[in-house]
């Protein structure tokens, strides 16, 4: 089955805009060290036009990644998201 990704949605979201239920593809995932007891996963996601490597998976969805229900190249619809602006650490601009 072919899925239509929400091309350009990442740019809109990352610039503070709103995009209702974008469809994206997970290109990869990485377990990261967290300060708490919960495992955290960072995702590389693509909207077909842009990609972003700092998307964090909600901990409530970890089981989907661990069991393989969510894997590399999965196509997902994002129903809820939160964006955060990180403060500069003084080590150059990002």
Contact between 41 and 31 (Cβ < 8 Å): yes
- pTM for this model (two decimals): 0.82
What digits encode the pLDDT tens for the residues 24-38? 999 999 999 867 777
Residue 42 CA to residue 32 CA, distance in Å, equals 7
Domain hosting residue 46, numbered range: 9-77
E strands in the chain: 23-32, 40-46, 51-56, 75-77
Residue 92: the pLDDT is: 56
Based on the structure, what is the number of domains in the chain?
Answer: 1
Using CA atoms, how far residue 26 sits from 7, 14, 35, 37, 68, in Å, is 14, 17, 25, 25, 12
Does the pLDDT value for residue 88 go beyond 90? no
Q: CATH no. for residue 45?
A: 2.40.50.140
């Amino acid at each position: 089955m072919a899925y239509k990704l929400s091309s350009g949605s990442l740019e809109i979201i990352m610039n503070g805009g709103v995009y209702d239920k974008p469809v994206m593809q997970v290109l990869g995932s990485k377990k990261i060290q967290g300060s708490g007891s919960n495992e955290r996963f960072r995702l590389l996601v693509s909207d077909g036009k842009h990609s972003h490597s700092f998307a964090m998976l909600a901990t409530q969805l970890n089981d989907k990644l661990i069991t393989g229900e969510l894997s590399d190249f999965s196509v997902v619809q994002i129903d809820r998201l939160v964006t955060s602006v990180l403060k500069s650490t003084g080590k150059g601009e990002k």
